[in-house]
Chain A
Amino acid sequence: MFAYVVRRLFNVVITLLVVTMVTFGVFFLVPKLTGSDPALLYVGKTADAAALDGIRTKLGLDDPIYVQYGKFLQGLVVGRDYDAGPDTTHCAAPCFGYSFKTDQEVWPYLIDRLPVTLSLALGAAILWVIGGVGAGVISALRKGRAADRIVMTTALAGVSLPIYFTGLVSAAIFCYWLGWLPPPGYVDFAVNPLEWATNLLLPWITLAFLFAATYARLTRANMLETLSEDYIRTARAKGLRERDVVGKHGLRSGLTPLITVFGLDLGSLLGGAILTETTFNLRGLGEATLTSIRQNDLPIILGVTLFAAFFIVIANLVVDLLYAAVDPRVRLS
């Protein structure tokens, strides 16, 4: 088991390294090959020649690609200095680069936005797991009856409706028409936990509705399969109460496959929920992604990409470890 964990951690490091290589290649090499000037991409079209030269030196854009990559890695691990003669900008580790467009370091900029995305993703995740799994289990137990049909129809709506539709419509109804909720926004948890929650409630529900729909369908399918397993029949033959048959024997194996899906969903959401964040005007990682793409702000695009990759890889690792914890066949083999 120990060897397994170590091997997995080793895999994580390798994967992340490959991700940096690919991202680096795409963002630094591709512009070069297509003839556009990376320095220009960095500062924007309005910069004059002197500024461009300064940037070029500062970024070492004239160095060979492997030197650039080396420096980039070095920045990630120990930090680096952008040296352009008299003025030196120090970028502490982990240095994700420096955005000249907004004149700030990428790392603090992203870290600043992380709590928004974290709050949104985790809050929504709790809601959709409870809602989706609950609805799915009810649906499986009432297969073919009214409850099942209602859940599955709602789920179909949830999967099909885009988030900017459900988001805007519900904001219009609950915030502006009925006035039950404050307009969505972000208040730091440490400042006012209650406002943090009420302000995020609508984004949570909207985002959770989308995912809960998928989870309800998945849970229903998994539970139906599990409940037809031989060991469920054995549990009944032992004389267990139906709630133990379903709650103890059924749920545990019925929900195990959901771990994978949940890990990946949460992992990718932590990299930024672009649609939800923009719909509700939340300044999180997703919103940062969109803005940086609009402004062609390469260092930030690179930064959010690495962030997203990091979360997904870590989520994958956690999923595998959870599997081993839940399923003795994985753990003991």
Chain B
Amino acid sequence: MTTSVPVTELGPADLSPPKSFLEVRDLRVQFATDDGIVKSVDGVSFGLERGKTLGIVGESGSGKSVTSLAILGLHRTRSNAKVSGEIWLDGEELIKADNERVRRLRGRKMSMIFQDPLSAMHPYFTIGQQIVEAYRIHHGGSKKAAKQKAIDMLARVGIPQPSRRVDDYPHQFSGGMRQRAMIAMSLINNPELLIADEPTTALDVTVQAQILDLIRDLQEEFGSAVIMITHDLGVVAELADDILVMYGGKAIERGPAEAVFRTPEHPYTWGLLGSMPRLDREVRDRLNPIKGTPPSLINLPSGCSFHPRCPYAGRNGDRSFTERPELTGTTHAVACHMPPELRREIFIQEVSPNL
């Protein structure tokens, strides 16, 4: 279970070789815009082993999708993006690697499933053509052989009559079937790292259950490392071994799924859990929302970015308003100025009874 790399030992100056299959160190992604510099990801570090699943949770603008696109090197084509830090995949550093090298890894060693399969597939090409293309760019070979592979993969992800449906266009598929086809496309090269960016957000709940089931099965079969990006705590709870909670471009809590759900320590995580009505609990009279709105990534609040919304910000003297909290702790790490004992006490006494 303890797959996480102790982040305190890592940093920009850290020269130790990576210990995990995927290791992200102090990742920063900034976009220059007319309004100013958008700090989408601001110093995020984590590790992930083969066969394990990391859930990255956060609301819109938290930087979770930008992080995943950075791993695939997809910000390279945007001239206004600046990416720094280190991304180690299987012992190879990706941020400093040249474009051609990263391109060869993309779709082969690491691949991605996107949120809305209708807009993520080209409307003018058949499902088969798109999967065949994904295979042949890395393996070459005849179109015929590749198409047979595509049909086999479509069958594997549960598409009925794959040899006929392979020639259909994306708009002829239902939402769930499209997402299956998208999964088939991202798995066609047997990638070792699979990033799923809100893979079920556009889907109905019964279809979501099918797709999550499929991802779980496929991970067991192929042994890939999976990053599951979502805003839905239910979805991460279903799949993730480890969880990383992001807020305002920073990782604010990270640890094994059980620990983050059972004994969360960051007030933002508490807020997320309190905001959510749950079917496995008695109905509460009122939800406990987080006050205010998510921060602007151009003008992040000083100190702890969460302080304007945090009910406990005043408990640390000036620190919450002036000093940025570091993510500290080994297995279960939290970026909060409150001492761990106090956080645990508040959770047990004030927060937990209302969840």
Contacts and interface: CB of A to CB of B under 8 A. Distances in A.
A233 B74 CA distance: 8
Contacts of A234: 112, 114, 120-122
Contacts of A326: 124
B108 interface: yes
Given A237-B106, A237-B107, A231 B134 contact: no
Interface string A235-276: 111111110100001001100000000000000000000000
A45 B137 CA distance: 76
Given A230-B119, A249-B122, A328-B171, A236 B114 contact: no
A151 to B, nearest CB: 17
A91 B77 CA distance: 65
A144 interface: yes
B79 interface: yes
B124 A328 contact: yes
B156 interface: no
Nearest to A234: B120
Nearest to A228: B78
B74 A237 contact: yes
Given A237-B106, A238-B185, A229 B119 contact: yes
Which of B69, B77, B112 has the most A CB atoms < 10 Å from its CB? B77
Contacts of B72: 237
Nearest to B105: A239
Contacts of B169: 328-329, 332
Contacts of B103: 239-241
B120 A233 contact: yes
B77 A238 contact: no
A327 interface: yes
Nearest to A231: B122
Interface in A127-146: 143-144
B96 interface: no
Contacts of A240: 103, 107, 133, 137
Interface residues of A, number: 24
Contact of A231 (B74, B108, B121, B186): B121
Main secondary structure of the interface of A (DSSP, over half): helix
Given A237-B111, A239-B103, A231 B133 contact: no
Interface in B55-96: 69, 72, 74, 77, 79
Interface in A297-333: 326-329, 332
B124 A239 contact: no
A144 B79 contact: yes
Nearest to B182: A234
A241 B103 CA distance: 7
Contacts of B121: 231, 234
Contact of A253 (B104, B123, B138): B123
A239 B122 contact: no
Contacts of A327: 123-124
Contact of A230 (B114, B126, B172): B114
B123 A231 contact: yes
Nearest to A144: B79
B232 interface: no
A285 B270 CA distance: 77
A235 B185 CA distance: 11
Interface of B: 69, 72, 74, 77, 79, 103-108, 111-112, 114, 116, 119-124, 126, 133-134, 137-138, 169, 171-172, 185-186
Interface of A: 143-144, 229-231, 233-242, 244, 249, 252-253, 326-329, 332
Pairs of residues from A and B, 6 with the lowest C-beta to C-beta distance, nearest first: A239-B107, A239-B106, A238-B107, A230-B119, A238-B134, A231-B122
